[in-house]
Amino acid sequence: MLSGQLPVLSAAEIRDRATHLKSTLPPHVRLIAVSKFMPAAAIRAAYEAGIRDFGESRVQEAASKRAELADLTDITWHLIGHLQTNKVRQALQLFDWIHSVDRWQLAERINTILRESDTPSPRCLLQVKLRPDPKKYGWEKAELEDALPQLDALSHLRCCGLMTILPLGLSSSEQLQVFQELRAWGEELRTKPWQQLQWQEYSMGMTQDYPLAVQAGATMVRIGTAIFGDRQATLEIHHD
Ligand SMILES: *Cc1c(COP(=O)(O)O)cnc(C)c1O
C-alpha cells in the first residue's frame, strides 16, 4: 500500500530529528514515534536513529507496515487509535501495547479473546478524557471510576495505566494542569488494592505539548510530527 512512496522528509532528516528529540527527553520517558500515514521507509529511518517504539492508529495500516518491516524484529508496536470491536483479534496479534482501551465493551472483548485463545495480553492503557471533548473517544473520570471494579475482574486484560489526548484550544497552563491531574489520579488509584489493574504508566504528550507532559510525569510520549514532519503532505498517498 505505502511501499515505494517516498516520505516527505528524507531519511537523513528523520534520523536527525529522531536523534535530537531523544536527546531532549529524560531517559525514563519512552519515546513512541507515531508513524501513522507514514511509509515503512520513514519507520526504517527512525529505527536507524535508535527508535524502537512505533505508534500506529489503524490495524490494517500497521499490518502492512509490519509485513514490510519484518526484518526489524525488535520493534515494539503500539496501537494508539480507536479500535473497532471486530478488529480486536487482529490487533492482539499485531500490537505489544494498546493505549486506546476507551470503553467497557472493548475491554471485555479483549479479555474474552485472550481467554479463549490463551495468548498473553499486550499491555493496555485506559484512555481517559479529563475535560469534555465530544470529538474524542475515552472514559470520562466518573464513568471510569464506576467501571473499575468490573475492569479489575477481567483476569486476562493486562492494564497498566492511563492514556490521554488533550482537547484543542487549552492554554499551556491548562495543558499542564490536565497532565498533572492525570498523574495525580493514577497515583491515587495506585494506593488502592486491585487484583489486576496496575497504575505505573502514563501515556501523555504529543508534538505540541510533550514538554509539559514530561514535566507532569509522563512515562511515555507519542510524537509524530516532530519526527516525521507534517502528515498533511502524505495524506494524498493514504486513502485505503
Ligand atoms: C497522531 C497522534 C499522535 C501524534 O501526534 P503529533 O502531533 O503528530 O505528535 C499522538 N497520539 C495520538 C493518539 C495520535 O492519534
pLDDT in tens, 137-185: 999 999 999 999 999 999 999 999 999 999 999 999 999 999 999 999 9
Q: How far is CA 227 from the centre of its chain?
A: 16
The string of pLDDT tens digits covering residues 101-143 is: 999 999 999 999 999 997 889 999 999 999 999 889 999 999 9
54-78: burial string, b at 16+ Cβ within 10 Å, e else: bbbbbbebbbbbbebbeeeeebbbb
Closest ligand 1 atom to residue 222 Cα is 10
What pLDDT shows up at residue 232? 74
- The alpha carbon of 207 and the centre of ligand 1 are apart by a number of angstroms equal to 7
Closest ligand 1 atom to residue 80 Cα is 13
Does residue 224 line the site of ligand 1, with CB under 6 A?
Answer: yes
Residue nearest to atom 10 of ligand 1 (CA): 222
Residue ranges per domain, the chain? 11-228
Sequence-distant (6+) residues with CB within 8 A of 100 are 79, 80, 81, 82, 83, 125, 127, 137, 163
**What percentage of the chain reaches a pLDDT higher than 70?**
94
What pLDDT shows up at residue 225? 97
Q: Which of 25, 34, 82, 165 to mutate to test the pocket of ligand 1 (most atoms within 8 A of CB)?
A: 34
CATH architecture of 11-228: Alpha-Beta Barrel (3.20)
Per-chain mean pLDDT for the chain = 94
- The alpha carbon of 191 and the centre of ligand 1 are apart by a number of angstroms equal to 30
Task: Say how many C-beta atoms besides its own lie within 10 A of residue 215's C-beta.
Answer: 12
- The alpha carbon of 158 and the centre of ligand 1 are apart by a number of angstroms equal to 23
Q: How far apart are CA 32 and CA 95, in angstroms?
A: 13
pLDDT above 80 (res 44): yes
pTM: predicted TM-score of the whole model, two decimal places: 0.94
Is residue 174 exposed (0-12), middle (13-18) or buried (19+ Cβ within 10 Å)?
Answer: middle
Residue nearest to atom 11 of ligand 1 (CA): 222
Does residue 205 line the site of ligand 1, with CB under 6 A?
Answer: no
Q: Which of 21, 179, 210, 222 to mutate to test the pocket of ligand 1 (most atoms within 8 A of CB)?
A: 222
